[in-house]
Amino acid sequence: MKTAASPELHDLVAKLRSRPQPDDPTIDQLRAGFEALSRQFPPPPEGRFEQVSAAGVPAEWVRLPDSPEAPVILYFHGGGYCIGTAVTHRDLVARLCRASGARALSVDYRLAPEHVFPAAVEDGVASYRWLRKQGIAAQSIVVAGDSAGGGLTLATLLALRDAGDALPAAAVCMSPVTDLAKEGESMRTKASLDPMVQPASSAAYARRYIGGGDYKAPLASPLYADLEGLPPLLLLVGTSEVLLDDSTRFAEKARAAGVAVELEVWDEMIHIWPYFAAILPEARQAIDRMGAFIRRETA
């Protein structure tokens, strides 16, 4: 998507690059750092957040005062499968609810390294089935996520398809992680442009998550799965991301398998730029785009 990058984007990139980065950070430092970043983007005051156990998986309902009972966004937060929570993503999820006219179930799936693959996928499947048991029709559900949460969105769809479950109406992925083997060319070519993710740190998150397993296992790296039969997908990714090729290669393979895929590549956008909607106009535009897609697919 051709846009002239806003001054706010340039300011954000400079701020992200200037963040102090400890050498070889511990998982606790990484989690604390992301939580500190999230506190700069508090949720809207009208947002309502209700903790719930979704078949034993911690989650929270995210609503605005006028949120209907359906459609429902099943949301998986990003953070390399190791950091982040439903709380760190409240602003993004609440904004997505507003744009789509939906409520959301934001899931605190188990994180690595304490819980390695396939724990997150098991929690994704369990939370979806819990929604269905609440009487919510599959065609009223859209699964969505950013970064690792985008990868988990796709993995959850694949696991549900393989198990014979009725699939949701659609899925939305922001800068999804689809290849834990890190074989995309953009892992090299975009490293100097990406202020959020670097090849070494991305590979370290993958190692923590896979726990000595197969980096190309289909439910860990959806790029290597048979993609036939998936519901309509919207993928958003920026040209300044080392994970750019995770989206472009996945979209190409999904289309070849007959999946209805809308891939939007946004010029100069950084990893999970919709997260920064409080300060970034392009983020707000992307959220409006995702909201329109969700409205259309659940109409």
In order of 77, 190, 276, 294, the CA distances from 171 in angstroms are 14, 26, 21, 8
Order of strands across the sheet with 57-63?
A: 48-54, 57-63, 103-107, 72-76, 141-146, 170-174, 233-238, 261-266
Our answer to whether residue 271 is catalytic in this structure is: yes
Our answer to whether residue 115 is catalytic in this structure is: no
Q: Choose the catalytic residue: 60, 241, 268, 282.
A: 241
Residue 233 CA to residue 154 CA, distance in Å, equals 9
Q: Choose the catalytic residue: 175, 271, 282, 297.
A: 271
Residue 199 CA to residue 216 CA, distance in Å, equals 17
Q: Choose the catalytic residue: 100, 127, 147, 186.
A: 147
Place of tokens 């034993």: 56
Which neighbouring-strand residues pair with 172? Answer: 144, 234
The residues annotated with a catalytic role in the active site are: 147, 241, 271
